[in-house]
Each structure stands twice: as C-alpha cells, then as structure tokens.
Amino acid sequence: MRPKRAVASFDSASTFHRVLAQHLHGSSSPALGLGPAARAVSRLLPLVNHMPLRVREALYIWSGWSEAVQPSRVGMVDTDAIAEWACSQYPRGQYPAVLVGSSSGAVAHLAALAGIPWLPQTFLVPVRHHGLDPDDPAKAVTELADARDAFTEANPGVALHHMHDANQDRLMIRRMGYFRFKYQQLPDAYREFLRENLAPGGTVVVTDCTERWPTTATGSRQVFQHGAVGDATAEEYAKGGPRVAEFLAEQGAERRAWDPPPADGDSPEAEWGFDPALLGDLEDLCRAEDRRLDRLTFPRADALSGPVAELYRSWYAEQGTPADRLLVSCFAVIDAHLPLARGLVPYWTLFGTCAARDTLEKYVREAEPYDEIHLGLFSHGTCSIGRAGIEDWDRVLGHARRHGAYCGADTDAYPQDFASNGRFHRAAAALPEVPVLPGTAPWDWVRERLTTHEHPAVGYTTVR
C-alpha cells in the first residue's frame, strides 16, 4: 500500500511534516499544504459553511472516511515504507541538525527557523468501519481487534495506540478508528537519512513530549487510549462528571457517561507523547557516526510555543526585522513558511480549547506587547467539552496594541467552519512583508538559546 494512501493527511503529525518539508523547499502551504488540487478545492469550501449543519457534518465525516484504510487491508500498511516516504519529502543536503520524535506545531516552527528537517515518531493510520456508536468505546475495542492484530503483526518495529475520543473526534470516529503508531526501532530510512544528510559534527535532537495517558493493553505492542489531550481530563473520560453528562445530553446520546475498558497502566500519549524505546537506536547511531545527541523535553505539545515565539523575536531583533506581529496557528491550521517570509512571529495553539486559550493568553499577557495579533482557528465540527468560544478568543485579540483580527476564520460558523484551512493561508499570505526579512537562523545560534533559556517546563540536555 502506498504510504500516502495509508497515512491521514488531516492528522497533526502529517500536516506538520508536510508544511515543514514545503518550507525547506522554499514554499508555503495553502490548504494544509495539500498542493494545487486541494488549493482549488479549498476555494469552494466557503460554500459548505452555508449548508445545513447536518450536511456540513456529513461532508466532514466523508472527507476523513475517504482517506481511511479498509480493515481487510490494514496488514498491508508498511511503516518502514512510510518512514521512507517521510524522508523523501525533504531536500537532500548537509544539515547541521535533524529533529526526531514528538509532534508539535511549535517543533515545526523551531525546525523552520533553523532550516532543518523533523522526522516524526508518530503517524496516524485511520481504519474504516461501518458505523459505531462513538459513546461505546468498549465496542470499538472489540470491533477493531483483528485490525489491530494485523497491523502489529505486519510491523514489528512499532507500538500501536488505538485512540478513541468521543469528545473532540466525535464526528470522525463514527466511521473510522484512529490507529496511531510510534516507531520503537529506528526505521532503516531514518537511519540512512541521518547518515547521509546530517553534517559531520551535527546534532540529532530528540523532541520528547513527556505527556502520558491512561491506557488498556489490548495485545503485544498495542494499547487502547480512551480520550485525548484537550480540556476534558482523563478522569472525566474514565468516570464521567457534570461536564460529560451535559455534553452527552447536548449530543442526544442516551448515556450520561462513557464506560470504557478499565485502564491497566499508562503510556506515552497517543498523538503527542514520545516513546523512549526509540532512544537506544538513536544513541547507537550517534555513537557509531560520531554525532551529538541532544534531548528537548517538554510536558505538553504546546509548552514549546512560547519559547519558540521568543526565539523568533530574538532572531528578528538581531536581524533588524520588526518583531511586533504575532501569527497564531491552531492544531492543523498552520504554515511553517509564511512567518519567515512575512516577518511574523509564530505561536501554535494545541486546539480550540479553554486550556489552549489560557496558555496563549498567558503568553501574550507576559510577553513584550505585540502591535498586531492575527489568530487562526481550527474547526473540528463539535461543541466539545471545554471548547473556547469566540468571546474567549476575542479577549486574546484584545491584547494587541494596535490591531487584533482573526486570520481566515468565520466566527459565525466556528466550530463548523470547515473552510478555515484554505482561508488561513490566504489571509496570512496577504499580510504585508517587512522591509528586512530575517532569513534562517544558524543552528549554533538556536542551540545556544535552547540551552540557556529560562522556561521552567522546557529542558534541553546533551545525551552524548
């Protein structure tokens, strides 16, 4: 099976990988970086916002389902081929550093600033089913058991995390299961890429998000994760509560709490967490090739967003580039190229939740004030638990000294604004350039500041 057919283009990791690869090729990422065909389709998407809600939801579900793999073909998914495809997207060259590991929009912006690749540890393979109650996680475990076994048997070098989130992924999981896999052994393609494209004396940087989540073992190298990072807590997913009951009532569900399989441990969080099993192979490679191995640790995927934004501001200041315009991206609504091409400071938010909004607002409140704040929003189609409303995001925009505005978001349609992806790029690309563009920051400059930064939650250490 072709890797592009197996991996979800709508997922966070594949999106960040794609927009970074396009940046290293010197271009921006219209319509999530999906290329000319998707760019043309994105211009038609505003029509969707005028359709009835049920029609919009059905189209959203279909768009994801069309990418999902048939259960009978899951054993044909080749994670080694996916690694080879991921490497093939980057220009060949002699890079001073390469990032490997956890997914984060801030990681993509960090790599873009330094002009270096990032090799994801995690990818999403969506698996079709014929329709399951999203509020019955135990049924999802049972129905997709054969598919999980087929996947792990065909791919011995990975761990499989079957993630089921009836809160934030409610629409999609009606017709598909989320199979996220993590490389526990370094794929041959990654090994070869590092050998051929990491300059002598270069650095492999492990991006290590330490976030974990309760899980249930379902077989060898496979776990089931009920719920996901957002505003609802792991305890609410497991035991319910007032917010869960209210949400399920609003969704027209018969139950008022979920009844997932009991957790028997915890694991690296399916979407964002780093599996340390990969470290051994990376250490062996760096030792054999006489390369440095560093580790960038952070507790949540968006914990890097503030420090990376400040890196951009410092670099801009040294280059004589104004650093007073903030471009806020959200989940998969992101572009890694335009910040440097327009002299914008990038800040990535994890999702459209109150927790993500609070983290962003804390940053803009404590940072040197921005003259302009341009804010993009990702629409996932559901009024989920802890979703930040437009009035919440308005408060963030109010921190701009001169001008705060949404970047391509239809605030009336949010969170069913399925045209926001293409509009975000067009709105950001239309912002005026600055007189002096900053260019790429040298890796030694970036590394020195990562090593000496003062953010208490983020660590940067040398492993060897």
Coil/strand/helix, residue 403: strand
Side-chain half-sphere CA neighbours of 446 within 13 A: 24
Task: For residues 72 and 173, state if they share a domain.
Answer: yes
**29: Cβ contacts below 8 Å, ≥ 6 apart:** 18, 19, 22, 23, 334, 335, 336, 337, 425
Task: For residues 24 and 152, state if they share a domain.
Answer: yes
Q: Is the pLDDT of residue 229 over 80?
A: yes
Q: Which of the listed residues 298, 318, 352 is the one where a domain comes to its end?
A: 298
Q: What is the mean pLDDT of the chain?
A: 93
Does residue 248 fall inside a structural domain? yes
Q: Which of the listed residues 254, 272, 298 is the one where a domain comes to its end?
A: 298
> Regarding predicted confidence, which is higher, 195 or 31?
195
Does residue 224 fall inside a structural domain? yes
CATH number at residue 333: 3.40.50
The answer to whether the beta carbons of residues 462 and 293 sit under 8 Å apart is yes
The answer to whether the beta carbons of residues 106 and 302 sit under 8 Å apart is yes
Instruction: Please tell me the distance from the alpha carbon of residue 250 to that of residue 349, in angstroms, as a whole number.
Output: 26
Coil/strand/helix, residue 215: strand
Does residue 402 fall inside a structural domain? yes
pLDDT of residue 447: 98
Does residue 7 fall inside a structural domain? yes
Q: Is the pLDDT of residue 399 over 90?
A: yes
User: Which one-letter DSSP state was computed for residue 432?
Assistant: P
pLDDT of residue 4: 86
pLDDT of residue 51: 61
Residue 334 backbone phi and psi in degrees, to 5: -155, 150
Q: Is the pLDDT of residue 445 over 50?
A: yes
pLDDT of residue 65: 63
Other CB atoms within a 10 A radius of the CB of residue 280 amount to: 12
Q: Which of the listed residues 231, 265, 298 is the one where a domain comes to its end?
A: 298
The answer to whether the beta carbons of residues 12 and 103 sit under 8 Å apart is yes
Nearest to 194 by CA among 112, 270, 86, 63: 86
Task: For residues 210 and 327, state if they share a domain.
Answer: no
Q: Is the pLDDT of residue 41 over 50?
A: no
Does residue 294 fall inside a structural domain? yes
DSSP for 21-42, written as a single string = HHHHTT---GGGGT-HHHHHHH
Instruction: Please tell me the distance from the alpha carbon of residue 62 to that of residue 113, in angstroms, as a whole number.
Output: 36
**158: Cβ contacts below 8 Å, ≥ 6 apart:** 79, 152, 181, 182, 183, 184, 185, 221
Quick: pLDDT tens for 144-162: 999 999 999 999 999 999 9
pLDDT of residue 40: 45
Nearest to 405 by CA among 390, 419, 421: 390
User: Which one-letter DSSP state was computed for residue 47?
Assistant: G
Does residue 455 fall inside a structural domain? no
pLDDT band at 52 (very low <50, low <70, confident <90, very high): low
Across the strands, what pairs with 374? 327, 405
Q: Is the pLDDT of residue 226 over 80?
A: yes
Locate 383 and state its tokens.
């009024």
The answer to whether the beta carbons of residues 182 and 268 sit under 8 Å apart is yes
Task: For residues 147 and 77, state if they share a domain.
Answer: yes
Instruction: Please tell me the distance from the alpha carbon of residue 36 to that of residue 426, in angstroms, as a whole number.
Output: 14
Locate 82 and state its tokens.
């996916």
**Among residues of the chain, what percentage have pLDDT more than 90?**
83
- Average pLDDT for residues 362-369, to the nearest whole number? 98
Q: How many domains would you assign to the chain?
A: 2
- Average pLDDT for residues 271-292, to the nearest whole number? 98
pLDDT band at 418 (very low <50, low <70, confident <90, very high): confident
Task: For residues 278 and 346, state if they share a domain.
Answer: no
Task: For residues 377 and 415, state if they share a domain.
Answer: yes
Task: For residues 275 and 309, state if they share a domain.
Answer: no
> Regarding predicted confidence, which is higher, 383 or 316?
316
Task: For residues 204 and 102, state if they share a domain.
Answer: yes
- Average pLDDT for residues 200-225, to the nearest whole number? 98
Other CB atoms within a 10 A radius of the CB of residue 68 amount to: 20
Instruction: Please tell me the distance from the alpha carbon of residue 105 to that of residue 388, in angstroms, as a whole number.
Output: 19
Locate 419 and state its tokens.
């045209």
The answer to whether the beta carbons of residues 332 and 32 sit under 8 Å apart is yes
Q: Is the pLDDT of residue 37 over 60?
A: no
Locate 370 and state its tokens.
């921005």
Does residue 198 fall inside a structural domain? yes
- Average pLDDT for residues 156-172, to the nearest whole number? 96
Locate 39 and state its tokens.
């760019």
Task: For residues 138 and 214, state if they share a domain.
Answer: yes
- Average pLDDT for residues 73-81, to the nearest whole number? 98
Task: For residues 116 and 239, state if they share a domain.
Answer: yes
Task: For residues 237 and 322, state if they share a domain.
Answer: no
Task: For residues 181 and 87, state if they share a domain.
Answer: yes
pLDDT band at 117 (very low <50, low <70, confident <90, very high): very high
Strand 325-330 with 95-101, pairing: unpaired
Q: Is the pLDDT of residue 209 over 80?
A: yes
By residue range, what is the domain housing residue 425?
A: 302-429
End-to-end CA distance of the chain: 38
Q: Is the pLDDT of residue 405 over 90?
A: yes
Instruction: Please tell me the distance from the alpha carbon of residue 85 to that of residue 3, in angstroms, as a whole number.
Output: 7
pLDDT of residue 168: 93
pLDDT band at 58 (very low <50, low <70, confident <90, very high): low
Does residue 439 fall inside a structural domain? no
- Average pLDDT for residues 40-69, to the nearest whole number? 62
Quick: pLDDT tens for 99-114: 999 999 999 999 999 9
Which span out of 3-12, 43-52, 357-366 was modeled with the highest average pLDDT? Answer: 357-366
pLDDT of residue 413: 84
The answer to whether the beta carbons of residues 283 and 175 sit under 8 Å apart is no
Instruction: Please tell me the distance from the alpha carbon of residue 335 to that of residue 56, in angstroms, as a whole number.
Output: 25
Cα 78 to chain centroid distance, Å, stands at 22
Is 159 buried (19+), middle (13-18) or exposed (0-12) by CB count in 10 A? buried
Q: Is the pLDDT of residue 33 over 90?
A: no
Q: Over the range 183-214, which residues count as b (16 or more CB within 10 Å of their CB) and which as e?
A: bbbbbebbbebbeebbeeebbbbbbbbbbbbb
